Chains A and B, each alone.
Chain A
C-alpha cells in the first residue's frame, strides 16, 4: 500500500514532534511556545505577583493573564471552580491551605518536573514540603513571607534601652516591651492580634520552634499546646496583658485588619511583624532608620520564623501543563529572583541568591537567611483549626492570655479534634 504525500508529511511531523517534545522539555523548564495561560491568586499578594507576571510576559512568548481574587473569597472561589472543573491553568495558595488542596486533588502531580529541575536543591525546601502529599509534589514556592520581631529604636532610646540590641529570648522581648510601656502616654510596650488566629499562628508558633518544641505532630493531626513550653509562652503574654504592657483593649479586639497599623504610628515598642511590610512602614511617627529587626526567639534562645506566603501549582483542569510549568520554573530562576523579587526588596524563594546587588540593607539580608531556620506547619485541617475566626485556636489563646488558661487541656483537645477530623 502506498502512502499518500499528505500521510507521509503527517508521519514526518509526528516523528519530529516526538523527538522535539522531549528536547524542549528535557531542560526541566517546560515550553515557551506562545501559550496563553490563566493564573488566579489572592489579592493580598497582588503587587508581588503582578511584578513577576509583567516580567515573565515581557521576556517570554507565553503570556500569563492574572486574576486577583478578594483574599477572603479566595478559598470559596477555588472551591466553586473545582466543583465545576473550571480551575485556571495556574493558581496559588496560602501555604497553610496547600495540604488541604493537594489532598483534595486540585493540583497536577509535578514530582518529575520538580525533580528534573536544575538548581532544585537551592529552592526553599519548606515551600516544596508543604506542597507534598502522599509522597507526590504538587507545587513550588511562589511568594515568600516571614515573621520577625521589629522594634522602634527611638522609643528604645527614650526608655533607656540599647536601641541597637533587640531581644534574644521571649523574656527579653517582654522585658524590653515593659520598659517602653513605662514611657506612658500614647506609647505601649507591644501589640498583637488578640482576636486573629492567623496573626498569632504566624508570630507565636516560631517561639516554640526556636526552642526546638512543636505545635503539632508531624502529620498535623494532634495539637501540642498543653505542653510546658506553651504554658510558659502563654504566661509571658498573660503577664504583659495584666501589667498593661500590651496595648489594651485594642489588642484584645484586633481581628486582623489593623494588626500592623499601630507600629508604623510609632507608638509601639516592639512587636512581631511580617518581614515584607518593612518597606511600607515608614510614615507618620516612624523613620526607616528607627526600625530594628531581630529573628523571633524562644524561651531559652534560638531563632525561627514562620515561612509563609503562597505556593503555586498547575491545576488538575489545565491542558497546558508544559507551558504552565515554564512559568513556575522561571519564578525560581536567577533572573526572576534577583531582577524582580530582590529588586523590589522582597524575600527570595532561592536560598543561594541572597547575596546580590539589590540586597544591601542588613535587615533584608536577615530576612533572606532566617528562612532556612524557619518552618511551615503542615496540616490538612490547618485553616479550619487556626485561621477560622470561630476555630479552636482563637478560643485557646484568648483563654490562656486574656483569661487564666484553666481550659487549656480541653481547648487543646478541641484543636486535636479539629485537626484530625
Chain B
C-alpha cells in the first residue's frame, strides 16, 4: 500500500481549508524573517533614509541640520574638481584589481584543488593574509614601502642593484601598482576559497567522459571548468567590483591621495567632504550617487549571472 503524497492530500482538502493552511504557512514563513527584517530596518533602511534626508539639507558636521537646500548639494557635485577624477581613478583601480584578483584567485584554486599532502598547507598559506585587517595590512605595507624606514631598499642598495630607494609611492602609476599589490596579497586567498568551492561542485565524471573522448587539459578547462564555474566567478566578480569601488582604507593610509591628488578614490572624496570640509549634506549626496551607481552595476552583474545559469 502506498500513502498519498502531500500535494495529493492538499488537493483533496476543500478550497477554504486549503487557503487557510496556505495562509498559515505564509505567516509562519513571514514570522521567521522578522528578526532579519528588524535588522535591515534598523541598520540599513533607517540610516539610508537619514542619509537621503541629509543629502537634501545644509548639514554641517558641527552645526547640524540648517534646513532644506535641495538641489544645492547635488549641484555642487558637478563642480567638485576632485570627484570626477576620483571616479575615473576608482574605475581604473577596480578593473585592475578585479582582473588580477580573479585571475590569481582562480590560479591558486586550481593549484590547491588536487589532493596532495601539500594542498592543505598551501591553502592555509594563501588564506593567511585574509585574516589581517585591511588597515593593519596597509600600515604594514606603508612601513615596507617607506624610503625612511622600509627594509626593501637598503639591502638592494648595499648589493649595488639600485642607486636609491625604490619610489614605491612617488608617481600615480607606482602608487596604484603598490596599492594593488597589497590588495592582491591580502585578498587573493579569499577569492581562491570561493572558486575552490565552485571547482569542487563540478562532477568528476564530466572530466572523465571528456578525457575518454580525447579532450586536452586546455579544452577541459575551457569547455567544462569555466562554464560550470561561472556562478562562482560571477559571485566573486560582484564582491570584487563592489569592494574595489568602495576602496578607502588602503589609499587613505598608503597614499592619502598623493601624488597631486591622483590616487583619490570616490569614498575618499566623501570622507573629505564629511570630516575635512565638515559638510555632511554634500557627503550624503555623494554617498547617494555612489549607492545608485553600485546598485546599477550589481543589477547588470546579476543579469549576467542569471544569463549564465540559463546557459
Contact = CB atoms under 8 A, between A and B. Distances in A.
A391 B149 contact: no
A261 B149 contact: yes
A75 B260 contact: no
Contact of B278 (A79, A249, A250): A79
B259 to A, nearest CB: 7
B275 A255 contact: no
Contacts of A82: 61-62
A253 interface: yes
A193 to B, nearest CB: 11
A56 to B, nearest CB: 28
Interface stretch (B30-38, B163-171, B213-221, B294-302): B163-171
B51 to A, nearest CB: 14
Given A104-B63, A106-B62, A384 B258 contact: no
Interface residues of B, number: 31
A83 to B, nearest CB: 6
A163 B82 CA distance: 47
A104 B62 contact: yes
Interface in B254-279: 255-261, 264, 268-269, 272, 275-278
Interface in A227-266: 249-250, 252-253, 255, 257-258, 261-262
B198 interface: no
A262 B268 CA distance: 29
Given A76-B275, A104-B63, A249-B167, A258 B259 contact: no
A115 interface: no
B256 A79 contact: no
Nearest to B65: A83
Contact of A261 (B148, B169, B255, B276): B148
A79 B61 contact: yes
A83 B61 contact: yes
B225 interface: no
B148 A195 contact: no
B147 A252 contact: no
A293 B170 CA distance: 31
B60 interface: yes
Interface in B219-255: 255
Contacts of A83: 61-62, 64
B146 interface: yes
B148 A389 contact: no
A106 B259 CA distance: 35
A79 B280 CA distance: 11
B167 A253 contact: yes
A383 interface: yes
A384 B276 contact: yes
A91 to B, nearest CB: 13
A326 interface: no
Interface in B152-191: 164-165, 167, 169-170
B146 A388 contact: no
A249 B167 CA distance: 7
B148 A250 contact: yes
A324 B61 CA distance: 25
B148 A388 contact: no
Contacts of A257: 142, 146
A101 B62 contact: yes
A125 to B, nearest CB: 26
A388 B61 contact: no
Interface in A46-100: 75-76, 79, 82-83, 100
Interface string A393-420: 0010010000000000000000000000
Most chain A CB inside 10 Å of its own CB: which residue of B148, B259, B278:
B148
Contacts of B165: 250
A398 B260 contact: yes
Nearest to B139: A257
A395 B278 CA distance: 20
Contacts of A106: 62
Contacts of B275: 75-76, 79
Contacts of B277: 384, 388, 421
A36 interface: no
A250 B147 contact: yes
A398 B148 CA distance: 20
Contacts of A262: 148
Contact of A395 (B142, B146, B149, B261): B261
Most chain A CB inside 10 Å of its own CB: which residue of B60, B149, B261, B275:
B275
A300 interface: no
A322 to B, nearest CB: 26
Nearest to A72: B252
Nearest to A265: B148
Contacts of A383: 276
A390 B61 contact: no
Contact of B146 (A101, A252, A258): A258
Contact of B272 (A79, A104, A390): A390
A175 B259 CA distance: 29
A195 B259 contact: yes
Contacts of A398: 259-260
Interface string A9-51: 0000000000000000000000000000000000000000000
A395 B259 CA distance: 10
A384 B278 contact: yes
Nearest to A73: B275
A388 B272 contact: yes
Nearest to A191: B148
B286 to A, nearest CB: 14
Most chain B CB inside 10 Å of its own CB: which residue of A79, A383, A384, A390:
A390
Given A195-B258, A253-B169, A255-B258, 20 more contacts: A76-B275, A79-B61, A82-B61, A104-B60, A104-B63, A195-B256, A249-B167, A250-B148, A252-B170, A253-B147, A253-B167, A253-B258, A257-B142, A258-B148, A262-B148, A384-B277, A384-B278, A391-B276, A398-B260, A421-B277
29 contacts: A75-B275, A79-B61, A79-B62, A82-B62, A83-B61, A100-B278, A104-B62, A195-B259, A249-B170, A252-B259, A253-B258, A255-B256, A255-B258, A257-B142, A258-B146, A258-B149, A261-B148, A262-B148, A383-B276, A384-B276, A387-B276, A388-B276, A389-B257, A389-B258, A390-B82, A390-B261, A390-B272, A395-B260, A395-B261
**7 nearest A-B residue pairs (beta carbon):** A104-B62, A258-B148, A389-B256, A79-B61, A388-B276, A261-B148, A250-B147
Interface of B: 60-64, 82, 142, 146-149, 164-165, 167, 169-170, 255-261, 264, 268-269, 272, 275-278
